[in-house]
Structure 1
């Protein structure tokens, strides 16, 4: 399935044979203190920078009606973010994963994003569109 919007992700999660739990890490993009003048110039043009996880949450697909709902909840925490990374975890037959089940995978996801290891996740921009990085 081609996932080009957040709604595509929700539809795919709901269509899975096993119950799903969606994991989200909201990240900002910052320029490191030791950036070179060339890196600073590129950053000012919207390129480069380091991903910095700001907050994370897990939800069942049934808890989310749309990207706008997720965005509104994230905004209520008052943290600026420029991208949200998404992943899904499957439950057992007839048993959906719980928030407690998601704790460790979310911690690993935050750390992976902090280290720039983002290939396993789907990044979405603030409008809910999937983006290609790299």
Structure 2
């Protein structure tokens, strides 16, 4: 089981085929009509909705360390609370291209918007895997 970004990168490099990583950075938000109990839970770090704010694809070599990825994401000016990661396998020793990643990345964003997150690795702002119940 992968519990950190560094383990993810290591695992991606150990795969039989080269990988492309898909990243969707999300901000936790409360709906405008949230109840008092929902607001209180959100204050404790529970509940809310995850809104995708940035998405990008990279090879493991392009995103070798989490600090660089965070710095690049912060340069967009979009604050985020979690990043979801998925991987695409290449074929014949060739990593998927960024063009090939666009449709899966778009589908990933939509899945997250709909709350279907079980297929993705969620990481906090320090690169540690988190459990979302």
Deviation track 1:46-103 (CA, whole Å, cap 9, x = no partner) reads 1110000001000001112201111111011010000000000001112210000000
User: Counterpart of 1:29 in 2: which secondary structure?
Assistant: strand
User: Counterpart of 2:55 in 1: which secondary structure?
Assistant: strand
Residue 112 of structure 2: aligned partner = 113
TM-score scaled by structure 1? Answer: 0.97
**CA distance in 1: counterparts of 2:4 and 2:113, whole angstroms:** 24
Number of aligned residues: 133
1:37: Cα distance to partner?
A: 1.2
Where in structure 2 are the equivalents of 1:51-130 lying within 5 Å? 51-130=50-129
User: Counterpart of 2:9 in 1: which secondary structure?
Assistant: helix
Where in structure 2 are the equivalents of 1:27-66 lying within 5 Å? 27-66=26-65
User: Counterpart of 1:63 in 2: which secondary structure?
Assistant: coil
Task: Provide the alpha-carbon RMSD of the alignment.
Answer: 0.7
